[in-house]
């Protein structure tokens, strides 16, 4: 199956978005709460309804870029942030995006990509990150045989994929996952290699 712009747009239009928690997840809030560089350029790829972006703005971050291939959630986000500054909303394919960021926030985007795009994702993150830039967030770690997202992987697979371009600072079982994701997530921090 081709998971293209039409596919994702249809998922939002039909409200078949089981990954959508309706709020920023506990692990992402924890990562954001520990960051104090409010001016850091931050990218949230495959952001969907971008609850993490809203949380970042609430916490005083002022250089947040939200990116998604589906227009529907971005239009809804625009309605929520009519008076907000410091947030940029871009309707674009992640692999076509150009920019420079200190942080890429990962939550359910990697697992939405077909496995054949995994190395492309890692290469693109490396390209978009500034020196010492990081990917932080969560990755799914559970077995599934579905032909639909989420496409999961194991900790060992993640190490093999990321270590070529990133120093793996953290890749541990997430202990503060949402109830429906308990035992299914790894919390990550990957620092760009030079």
Q: Which two tokens stand for residue 194?
A: 């030079």
Cβ neighbours, 10 Å, residue 171: 17
Give all domains of the chain, ordered by start, each with its CATH number: 5-13+25-192 (3.40.50.150)
User: Do the beta carbons of residue 70 and residue 56 sit within 8 Å?
Assistant: no
Q: Can you tell me the mean pLDDT for 11-26?
A: 66
Residue pLDDT, tens place only, 129-174: 999 999 999 999 987 777 777 888 999 999 999 999 999 999 999 9
**How many Å apart are CA 137 and CA 41, to the nearest integer?**
16
pLDDT score of 128: 98
Closest to 75 in 3D by CA, of 56, 110, 50, 97? 50
- Whether the pLDDT of residue 34 is over 80: the answer is yes
- Whether the pLDDT of residue 48 is over 90: the answer is no
pLDDT band with cut points at 50, 70 and 90 for residue 9: low
Radius of gyration of the chain (CA): 16
Residue pLDDT, tens place only, 161-173: 999 999 999 999 9
pTM: 0.89
Helix (H, G, I), strand (E, B) or coil at 190: strand
pLDDT score of 1: 42
């Amino acid at each position: 199956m081709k998971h293209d712009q039409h596919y994702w747009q249809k998922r939002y239009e039909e409200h078949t978005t089981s990954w959508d928690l309706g709020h920023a997840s506990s692990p992402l809030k924890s990562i954001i709460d520990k960051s104090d560089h409010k001016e850091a350029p931050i990218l949230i790829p495959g952001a969907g309804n971008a609850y993490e972006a809203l949380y970042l703005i609430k916490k005083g971050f002022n250089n947040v870029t939200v990116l998604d291939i589906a227009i529907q959630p971005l239009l809804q986000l625009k309605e929520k942030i009519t008076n907000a500054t410091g947030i940029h909303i871009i309707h674009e394919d992640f692999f076509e995006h150009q920019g420079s960021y200190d942080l890429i926030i990962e939550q359910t985007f990697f697992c939405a990509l077909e496995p054949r795009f995994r190395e492309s994702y890692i290469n693109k993150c490396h390209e978009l990150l500034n020196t010492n830039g990081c990917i932080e967030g969560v990755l799914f770690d559970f077995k599934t045989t579905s032909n639909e997202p989420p496409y999961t992987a194991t900790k060992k697979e993640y190490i093999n994929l990321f270590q070529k371009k990133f120093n793996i600072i953290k890749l541990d079982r997430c202990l503060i996952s949402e109830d429906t994701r308990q035992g299914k997530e790894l919390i990550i921090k990957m620092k760009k290699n030079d």
